[in-house]
Structure 1
Amino acid sequence: MDILADIAIGTCALLAAAYCMLLSRRLRAFTRLDGDVGRAIALLSSQVDQLTKALAKAEASSTGRERMLQEQITAAEQAARRLELLMAAERPNMAERSPDPAPSVANSAVWDDRGTDFEPLARAPEKRLRTTRARVGGRV
């Protein structure tokens, strides 16, 4: 019986030694892999930093362009309003005027603000625009 117990203990010692060798090989492989993984992590970290910087530059650029575009849109809207008002001022109101084939008034009197048809833009641009839109059917 003692011999059987010694054989079992010896077999367990050999199995433990084999398991320790296996663990040692895996640990060495992990250490080598850790170096490669460490380099890969450092490389990825530097790429993330570069991408973060590029994103910050793109964001700053887009903010500047957004501001510039907003200014251009505002200027275009103001120009469109001025054009609408000019178009409204240029078109005579046909309902208010009497059909006169040959005007008997001199050209200098046409732009005189004492006339009944003349209404300066400073006084009632919105009214003029509304009447023009009503005349053309709201297409202005």
Structure 2
Amino acid sequence: MQLIADILLASGAFGAAAYCYILARRLKKLQTLETGMGGAIAVLSSQVDDMTRVLEKARGAADHQAKSLDTLTQRGEGVAARLELLLASMHDLPDAPKSGSATSGSSGHEPEKRLRFVRRKSSHDNLEAAE
């Protein structure tokens, strides 16, 4: 019985040693920086650092653009308010008298004449400025 217990104990110790040896080999492969998981973790870590820097730059640019857009929006609202005031003041002005109807002596129902402007392209492509 003692012999069987010693054999079982020796085989258990041998099995544990083999298991530890296999685990040590796997751990070495895992920790190598060039080919194993350690290399992949190192690459991913550097990529995360790069992405963090790029994200901070993008966030700063977006904040700057948001401030610029806010400033332009405020300026636009101010200009719109001034234009509304100008339009409101234009309604208060009296209508301009028509000069042609008072002097003509006719019935005053003459249609208003409008000037017509026609734009034409010149035939010369190269024009020189006069000095």
1:18 aligns with 2:6: no
| Gap runs ≥5 in structure 2 | 99-131
- Matches for 1:2-81 after TM superposition, within 5 Å: 4-35=1-32, 36-81=36-81
- Separation in 1, partners of 2:16, 2:86: 95
- Separation in 2, partners of 1:48, 1:16: 45
| Gap runs ≥5 in structure 1 | 104-140
Letter in 1 for 2:58: A
- Matches for 1:96-115 after TM superposition, within 5 Å: none
Q: Offset at 1:89? A: 0.2
- Separation in 1, partners of 2:54, 2:66: 18
Q: Specify the SS of the correspondent of 1:91.
A: helix
Q: Percent identity?
A: 32
Q: Offset at 1:10? A: 2.2
Structure 1 runs, 4 residues or longer, greater than 6 Å off: none
Q: CA RMSD in A?
A: 2.2
Q: TM-score normalised to the size of structure 2?
A: 0.63
Letter in 2 for 1:42: A
Structure having the larger proportion of residues in helix: 1
Letter in 2 for 1:58: A
Give the match for residue 110 of structure 1.
none
Question: What is the aligned length?
Answer: 94
More relative contact order, 1 or 2 (CA 8 Å, 6+ apart):
1
Q: Offset at 1:77? A: 0.5
Deviations 1:27-56 (A, max 9, x none): 211221222222122111111111111111
Q: TM-score normalised to the size of structure 1?
A: 0.60
Give the match for residue 106 of structure 2.
none
Deviations 1:76-126 (A, max 9, x none): 011101111001100028xxx8xx9x69xxxxxxxxxxxxxxxxxxxxxxx
